[in-house]
Structure 1
Amino acid sequence: MRYVPTGLGLMLMLASAPAVAQTRHNTDAPIDVASDRIELQDRANRAILSGNVRITQAEMTLTAARVTVSYTGQVSEGSPQVSRLDAAGGVTVNRPQQSARAQYAVYDLNRRVITMVGGVSLRQAGNTVSGGRLSIDLDTGRATIDGSGVRGGTSATPGQPGTQSQGGRVTGRFSVPKRSGQ
């Protein structure tokens, strides 16, 4: 007899399992940026992109209202070495078969991790999980969402995708396969 998880067991398994269709992201790929405005702050080793920001790396796209690109003082092949992206304002991260939304995101290129906070919603294969904080490990494809990162004053409609309840809980909705003959 084979165990088939249902209810809470299925939800926990899907929320904590590595993304089935995800492959390792190529974090060594070049980063392409586009925005309405770019302000270079060379002494601070950063660039501030604002207005319709779109950043792509391999098959991943990040969009936001504003992104601060931090880079080291090192230059490789004529380009500064980017170490971190700080995004704010309606942030979306799209990867093949996976999409995440939040108010803020940090992409730590050295650790190869994207952390998103503020009304987080993760969609994959018809399933949606919402919470306060999402961490995506780009090496493994594993996405972890929890209720942290939510202040006590936050209120929303519990159980709705893209919203966070005041108690800091994770909510989700998962699709179920259609049964034949019904």
Structure 2
Amino acid sequence: MLRTLLILVISLFPAMASAQGFQVGFGNMQQDSALPVEVTADSLSVNQNDGSAIFSGNVKIVQGEMHMTANKVNVHYSTGTVGIARLIAEGDVLLVQGTDIAEAEKAEYSIEDGSVHMTGNVMILQENTSISADEMTVDLKSNTAEMHGRVKTILRNQ
């Protein structure tokens, strides 16, 4: 009986997840968005008029335990204060926190909110589970992620 119920729940899991969104854990520790952000890239273009900088070519961002890579990252600085407000990463975006890995076509990291919003063929790999969706928002302070838009998961026994 229990096995039948478990099979039923697992078989309905993707349908239930896609109906209202799906929340999962992401990362194994809280991310401190006040930590310094280190950005390395092949090139940098700075626009003094709008307070932005574009890093391109093998871009790598590190903040504490969080790592992000992308083809191009547009950095928007805070107005009135010194610091980064948000990062917009495009092209082969990879986000790693702890043992969890997420990939997407685009990601916007709001440092002020401590959130990362990923769109375009989002895929998360967590130990024996993979989850895909159209978009995902990660709350780095609580280590949670919410996925929306045709969520699909694959659960493996080993």
Q: Calculate the TM-score normalised by the size of structure 2.
A: 0.84
Q: Deviation digits for residues 125-163 of structure 1, max 9, x if unmatched?
A: 12100010011001110111111xxxxxxxxxxxxxxxx
Residue 8 to residue 104, structure 1, CA distance change in 2 (3 Å): farther
Q: Which has the higher contact order (CA 8 A, sep 6+)?
A: 2
Structure 1 stretches (4+) deviating beyond 2 angstroms?
A: 5-13, 15-19
Structure 1 match to 2:32:
26
Q: Superposed, which structure 2 residues align to 1:1-182 within 5 Å?
A: 6-7=6-7, 9=9, 11=13, 16-19=23-26, 22-75=28-81, 80-147=82-149, 169-176=150-157
Higher strand content, 1 or 2: 2
Inter-partner Cα distance in structure 2 for 1:126 and 1:120: 17
Identity rate, percent: 27
Inter-partner Cα distance in structure 1 for 2:68 and 2:7: 33
Larger radius of gyration: 1
CA-atom RMSD in angstroms: 2.2
Q: Deviation digits for residues 81-108 of structure 1, max 9, x if unmatched?
A: 1000001001000110100000000001
Inter-partner Cα distance in structure 1 for 2:86 and 2:108: 7
Inter-partner Cα distance in structure 2 for 1:98 and 1:56: 15
Question: Displacement of 1:18 after TM fit?
Answer: 3.0
Inter-partner Cα distance in structure 2 for 1:82 and 1:71: 4
Q: SS in structure 2 opposite 1:44? A: coil
Asked if 1 retains the 8 angstrom alpha-carbon contact of 2:33 and 2:112, the reply is no
Inter-partner Cα distance in structure 1 for 2:93 and 2:24: 24
Q: SS in structure 2 opposite 1:6? A: helix
Q: Calculate the TM-score normalised by the size of structure 1.
A: 0.74
Inter-partner Cα distance in structure 2 for 1:45 and 1:135: 25
Instruction: Report the count of equivalent residues.
Output: 148
Q: Which amino acid aligns with 2:119?
A: V
Question: Displacement of 1:70 after TM fit?
Answer: 0.2
Gaps of 5+ in 1: 148-168, 178-182
